[in-house]
Every structure is written in structure tokens, then in C-alpha cells.
Amino acid sequence: MTEKATFAAGCFWGVEDVFMSLPGVVATRVGYTGGRTDNPTYRDVCGHGTGHAEAVEVTFDPAVISYQALLKTFWECHDPTQLNRQGPDIGDQYRSAIFFHSAGQQRMAEESMQKLDESGRLRRRIVTEIVPAVTFWEAEAYHQKYHAKNGGGCGF
């Protein structure tokens, strides 16, 4: 039995790369979530009028990898203190967010964020949103597994 987790941590190409390499992750897909428009396109989302975040939906086997391990990877793969940006990518579509699929995921996400925020490891406060998962709109085909198909990497 698999479960889903959804994360936004900047450009979805690099974030997908990180998660799809984890043992226990059985599938990933990139797309748009957290906005107000149905069936948004990349152009729509980049226009800053839809409110969507670039996100990665992770399907995982909890018998192999825990949601806590996915959260650890999420916190480590980007800077959760940057508001509406990651590195050179600027805009609300690049915001840091956890879209939880259950009350258990919400609790674990909130606890992990509080623990990291209180750890003193970060110079600024975490700005990551923790919000309920809503409709996930799959991105265009050329965005799926982009780095695996085209090479490249993100500088996080």
C-alpha cells in the first residue's frame, strides 16, 4: 500500500530529482497546486496570477521509507527561510510548502518544522507553509523527469 506526499521547494525539476532517488519512493510527478485556477499551464503559473506553487507529488511505500524521512529530505533540499524564492528563482510559484494529505502528515510536518526552527541551524525563521493538499494539476509532459531526460541540476 502506498501513500502520497506533496512538497513545494522551488523549481520542481530539481526537487523531483532529489525525491525520485530515494529508496521507497515508487513514483514522482511534477505539477501545480495550491492555487485558484483549474488546469493551469506553466505559462499561467509563471504569470503569478494563479496562486499555484510548483510542486512534486511523491508516491511512497511507508514500509520502506517513512514520511518523516521524506520531511527530512524536504528540509535539506532547499532553504525554507526564503519567502517566494529559491536561489535565482523568484516568485510565489517557488514558495516553500508542505501540502499534507492526512492529519498525521500535518502533525509530523508541524513538529518537524518546529524542531528545525528551534534547532538554531538556520539563520532566519522558516517561512514554509503547511496547508491541506488540494487538487494537484500535473505539469506538461516535458517537465516530468526533466533532469533525468535532459541532464542538469539545481544549485541547492
Instruction: State the Cα–Cα distance between residues 95 and 129, nearest whole angstrom.
Output: 8
Instruction: State the Cα–Cα distance between residues 86 and 97, nearest whole angstrom.
Output: 12
Instruction: State the Cα–Cα distance between residues 71 and 64, nearest whole angstrom.
Output: 15
Residue 136: which residues within 8 A CB-CB, separation 6 or more?
A: 6, 31, 32, 33, 55, 57, 99
Residues involved in catalysis = 11
